[in-house]
Structure 1
Amino acid sequence: MKKSGNPYHGGPVSDHFDGLRFYNPGGTPPRGLADLLHWQFGGGRVAWPARYDSPFPQAKPELSVAGDRLRVTMVGHATLLIQVAGINILTDPVWSRRASPFTFAGPLRRNAPGVLMSDLPPIDLVLVTHNHYDHLDIDTLSTLHAQHAPQIITPLGNDAIIRRSIPNAEIRAVDWGDRMELEGAVVHAEPCHHWSARHLRDRRMALWAAFVIETPAGKIYHVGDTGFHDGINYRAAREKHGGFRIANLPFGSYEPRWFMASQHQNPEEAVMGMVACGAEHAAGHHWGTFRLTNEGVEEPLRALETALDGAGIERSRFRALRPGEVFDVPASSLARE
């Protein structure tokens, strides 16, 4: 039976939805208020500079990328422009000054977006992985809708949040395991180990997900946020999809581990995830733009390099992208199988 009280989703009970809240099967729920306060007031935060500017100029993307080409351009944090098979895709688009429900408080952007909104090519598709404010930004989505009217694909419940502000948006709400056929690509919604909330009373009432984008130029695995979860979801993605030309993986916002381990993987785990999912290359994101956790601004970069060296993986295969950086992903043997 459906439980009452969920403002976003009223679907049937499943193996990851109890009728009121979503959960990670066999996983760990987010910590409660007491632990949050202990972390917030417990010290240990490394100071960030007021600005952490990118060494790359703001990119001016091509209108379209076709053939065997696959290009990933970093905008900032978890916002990536993916261009492949004539399709322009934005992930978790945030152009706002803060990742926050407020304009006057909350995590402040430390570098300019790597692409000006006015320089974007026509956007066909937006993927929103979950509803945390550093991933679902209503102001940015409203601007994109007005200028591009893209299709939005997002996990269950997040469609209701977006539609309250953008009632005419074309939104497809998806559950884990759903498959959506588009012109030139197929998008799959897959599990990741995370949670959701827009305020104190709606925890886990909307779903979170990773996405697989299946194209003639190869498969792309995009993870917005995740805890490592013993690599379960990575191995399942490889078993189902057979490996990837590129995986877009978060590797920042991970300290302190006692609080963050279940929701944000660290660089060592991101490298293990790259191997477990069978990705030939990885684009690292979720670092250096918004200060969300305790580690210093460049600690994820140094830890990633150490993890890659320890695993015997060339650093060029897992690129920690900076705003404005353009990654032309090398051709993949998987795309020809």
Structure 2
Amino acid sequence: MARNPYYGGPTSDHFNGTRFFNPDGIEPLGFRELLRWNFGESRARWPKRLELAMPARPAQKVSGSDLRVTMIGHASMLIQVADLNILVDPVWSERASPLSFAGPKRVIEPGIEFDHLPPVDVVIVTHNHYDHLDLATLKRLCEAFNPLILTPLGNDTIIRLAAPDARIVPLDWGESWDVEGVTFTAEPCHHWSARGLRDRSMALWAAFVIETPAGRIYHIGDTGFHGGRNYRALAEKYGDFRLAILPIGAYEPRWFMEAQHQNPAEAVEGFRLINAAHAIGHHFGTFQLTNEPIGAPVDHLAEALLAAEIESTRFRPLGAGQMFDVPDR
């Protein structure tokens, strides 16, 4: 049996002693299917570069009942609530790749210039794929702000390769950590992990529920819809949410991506199931990871909202540099 270099804890209903898994879920497809996708499917042509209209200049703090989210790009965003500045899956690197000269390259600059970030209190890293866990950015953040990093089990080992003195709290599904009156809980999502060819699913992946005095936030970095199982379970556990932050991109072709990335119609169904007042769509428009055109996630989200008779203002796809002051529930 392969050795897990990241985590060595006890077995559970989602860890077999070596690898994590999705209970009653679908395993990611293998190398043969990857070759079939890459050599048997055509990808839409994305622009090489898009102009960022204007980088955002976030406030130093957001207090009281206010809740503000600023999109940096792809899955990276700044959540400001209850006097905390929370960065999620921060990636300022040019490529989402282990290589500096190859791999998915950003087509638009980060929506916030790094030097214009407010003091960062907490960083959430949802899983270890390169478009979510960027060691160069995490090292830079630790040097600039020394934030608390919350991440699922095993990812702390990876992060310490770049930031050995980082303040990191690894969390299993269902475990929580409090920061100044705000509670962060790692919760299940249907995904997988890998940094290379031999470490598949050896570090955990997670969604996060953030419970604040201004309301609950549900954030998923990546997920397959999984029949809505996780949405239903968390709606039963928590009741409702002021904001859900849901992935809407990187979903084609469906035969390959269905288990790991939901499409916009599934995101709208998840939004309905989780009892959220508002939602933000992310995971699109920055790195071309899959086959769909760059504008397809936004277009398909609009179609899905119309079909579900949900006002488009309630579920907003945020592009780089865009800011959303979330209405009070």
Q: TM-score range by the shorter chain?
A: over 0.9
The one-letter code sitting in structure 1 at the alignment partner of 2:33 is D
Gaps of at least 5 residues in structure 1 are 333-337
Question: 1:131 is paired with a residue of what secondary structure?
Answer: coil
Conservation of the 8 A alpha-carbon contact between 1:238 and 1:276: yes
Structure-2 residue corresponding to 1:282 = 279
1:182 aligns with 2:179: yes
Deviation at 1:232, TM superposition (A): 0.4
Distance 2:78 2:162 in 1: 23
RMSD between aligned alpha carbons? 0.8
Structure-2 residue corresponding to 1:43 = 41
Structure-1 residue corresponding to 2:24 = 26
Structure-2 residue corresponding to 1:245 = 242
Distance 2:107 2:258 in 1: 24
Give matches, 1:43-82, under 5 Å: 43-55=41-53, 57-82=54-79
Structure-2 residue corresponding to 1:314 = 311
Distance 1:54 1:175 in 2: 37
Distance 2:248 2:96 in 1: 18
Runs of 4+ residues deviating >4 angstroms: none
Deviation at 1:179, TM superposition (A): 1.2
Q: TM-score when scaled to structure 1?
A: 0.97
Structure 1 residue corresponding to 2:299, chosen from 285, 299, 302: 302
Structure 1 residue corresponding to 2:93, chosen from 87, 91, 96: 96
The one-letter code sitting in structure 1 at the alignment partner of 2:252 is E
Q: Percent identity?
A: 60
Conservation of the 8 A alpha-carbon contact between 1:16 and 1:23: yes
The one-letter code sitting in structure 1 at the alignment partner of 2:87 is L
Question: 1:123 is paired with a residue of what secondary structure?
Answer: coil
Structure-2 residue corresponding to 1:229 = 226
The one-letter code sitting in structure 1 at the alignment partner of 2:169 is R
Q: TM-score when scaled to structure 2?
A: 0.99
Deviation at 1:184, TM superposition (A): 2.4
The one-letter code sitting in structure 2 at the alignment partner of 1:35 is E
Structure-1 residue corresponding to 2:263 = 266
Structure-2 residue corresponding to 1:157 = 154
Gaps of at least 5 residues in structure 2 are none
Question: 1:240 is paired with a residue of what secondary structure?
Answer: helix
Structure-1 residue corresponding to 2:5 = 7
The one-letter code sitting in structure 2 at the alignment partner of 1:23 is F
The one-letter code sitting in structure 2 at the alignment partner of 1:41 is F
Deviation at 1:164, TM superposition (A): 1.8
Question: 1:41 is paired with a residue of what secondary structure?
Answer: helix
Question: 2:189 is paired with a residue of what secondary structure?
Answer: coil
Question: 2:40 is paired with a residue of what secondary structure?
Answer: coil
Conservation of the 8 A alpha-carbon contact between 1:100 and 1:134: yes
Distance 2:38 2:2 in 1: 32
Equivalent residues, number? 329
Deviation at 1:128, TM superposition (A): 0.2
Using the TM superposition, name which of 145-154 and 41-50 deviates more.
41-50
